[in-house]
């Protein structure tokens, strides 16, 4: 991509006293993309967003917006707008005055006709036409969310920043807003940067997911890449559901490793980083990559402990002696009564290439620091 990135981080570090919230991040966010910054609380994602908005200054490094270094540029001179987590709508102004707030600051001044026309368009865009004279406290949470969106987008920013915008909504509204946000982003064509700790939200809405942990970017990629090819154990575990099984490297052949599990079973897994023979590893097994069959075939044997029937799929908790409990997810096909019952013995097989082997988790230090950050930043 030759275009200038909308947002670029160059070796950005942010410290609060002794605590490092963001350490040495390099990141380029391509134009017109929907990007999610995903990570657990305290991973530095909100700090990154606030550095783009100008509410925090990096301790080291540069934040560039459309190629311009933003050092020393206050929030009110940056071509970005933010949708705040609690919306931060002005309670003493009505809906239209909230939306036109940014337009009124433009110099040279816009005519009041243009201001009210653009505010009206923004209201229609978020399907709140006719709500202009309502008071903020008369609106529902979902409507307030839309007003916050309109208030930011009416200014036609280069980048829209969204700080956990859906966290305060109930599940049904959240799903609706996810679709609406995606549609809006495609319509308007500007870059959206979304901060979220909800991996489902990140995967479902964005073109690119930037997974963060302990103040660093762990992986940047398309949602399917992040899910299918996680860069490390943290990503594999954090994004989507997975089973982590410990073992030792028994053999190496190209991209593949043979891993001896605790019960002696050897399974073939792909590796994402170099591994050596005898090294302790964790194997990530996605629930949907496990196939269940009647005893006799498959690699592992276990007993169904629990079954959760979800309609199109069923989830099974399977007790495997010597290994522990595994979660398996199977499609349910109408008419084929292939549901296993609790107590029934089953054989477990793996889709080829699905198991991924990672060096055994040793990053306790990272996790501890992360917890500290979470405490201080919350």
Partner 1 sequence: MRAFVVAVFAFLYLPIALVVLFSFNAGHHASEFTGFSVQWYGKALSNPFLVEALKNSLFIATTSALLAAFCGTAAALGLQRVGARTRALFDALLGAAIVVPGVVIGISTLVALVQLFAVVNPFLASVWPTDQPPRLSLGYGSIIAAHGLFSMALVTMIVGTRLASLDRNLVEASSDLYATPLTTFHSIVLPQIMPAVIAGFLLAFTFSFDDFIIAFFVAGAQTTLPIYVFASIRRGVTPEINAIATIVLAASVLLVLLAQWQLGRRKPSP
Q: Which residues of the chain form contacts with partner 1 (CB under 8 A)?
A: 53-55, 74-77, 80-82, 84-86, 88-92, 101-102, 105-106, 137, 151-152, 155
90 or 309: CB nearest partner 1: 90
Q: How far is the CB of 97 from partner 1 (least distance, A)?
A: 10
Comparing CB distances to partner 1, the nearer of 107 and 341 is 107
Min separation Cβ 363 and partner 1, Å: 34
For residue 81, the minimal CB distance to partner 1 (Å) is 6
Rounded to 10 deg, the angle between the 141-153 and 171-188 helix axes is 20
Query: Which residue, 21 or 259, has its beta carbon nearer to partner 1?
Result: 21
Shortest Cβ 4–partner 1 spacing (Å): 23
- Residue 16 or 84: which CB sits closer to partner 1? 84
Q: How far is the CB of 8 from partner 1 (least distance, A)?
A: 20
Report the nearest approach of partner 1 to the CB of residue 113 (Å). Answer: 20
Residue with smaller CB distance to partner 1, 76 or 352: 76
Nearer to partner 1, 102 or 214 (CB): 102
Shortest reach from residue 75's CB to partner 1, in Å: 4
For partner 1, which is the closer residue by CB, 3 or 106?
106
């Amino acid at each position: 991509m030759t275009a200038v990135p909308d947002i670029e981080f160059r070796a950005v570090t942010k410290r609060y006293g002794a605590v490092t919230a963001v350490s040495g991040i390099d990141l380029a966010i391509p134009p017109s993309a929907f990007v999610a910054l995903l990570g657990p609380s305290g991973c530095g994602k909100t700090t990154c967003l606030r550095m783009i908005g100008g509410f925090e200054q990096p301790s080291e490094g540069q934040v560039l917006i459309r190629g311009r270094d933003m050092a020393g540029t206050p929030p009110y001179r940056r071509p970005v707008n933010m949708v705040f987590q609690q919306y931060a709508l002005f309670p003493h102004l009505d809906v239209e005055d909230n939306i036109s707030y940014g337009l009124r600051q433009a110099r040279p001044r816009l005519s009041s006709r243009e201001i009210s026309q653009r505010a009206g368009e923004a209201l229609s865009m978020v399907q709140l036409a006719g709500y202009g004279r309502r008071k903020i406290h008369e609106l529902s949470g979902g409507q307030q969310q839309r007003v916050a969106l309109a208030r930011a987008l009416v200014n036609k920013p280069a980048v829209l920043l969204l700080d956990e915008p859906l966290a305060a909504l109930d599940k049904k509204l959240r799903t609706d807003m996810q679709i609406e946000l995606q549609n809006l982003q495609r319509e308007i064509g500007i870059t959206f940067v979304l901060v979220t700790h909800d991996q489902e939200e990140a995967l479902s809405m964005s073109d690119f997911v930037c997974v963060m942990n302990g103040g660093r970017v762990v992986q940047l990629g398309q949602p399917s890449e992040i899910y299918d090819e996680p860069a490390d154990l943290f990503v594999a575990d954090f994004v989507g559901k997975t089973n982590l099984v410990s073992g030792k490297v028994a053999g190496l052949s190209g991209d593949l490793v043979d891993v001896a599990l605790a019960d002696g079973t050897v399974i073939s897994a792909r590796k994402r980083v170099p591994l050596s023979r005898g090294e302790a590893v964790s194997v990530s097994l996605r629930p949907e990559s496990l196939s269940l069959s009647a005893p006799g075939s498959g690699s592992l044997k276990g007993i169904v402990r629990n079954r959760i029937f979800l309609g199109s799929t069923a989830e099974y908790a399977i007790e495997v002696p010597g290994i522990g409990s595994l979660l398996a997810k199977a499609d349910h096909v109408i008419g084929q009564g292939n549901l296993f019952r609790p107590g029934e013995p089953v054989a477990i097989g793996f889709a080829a290439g699905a198991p991924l082997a990672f060096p055994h988790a040793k990053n306790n230090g990272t996790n501890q620091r992360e917890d500290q950050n979470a405490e201080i930043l919350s």
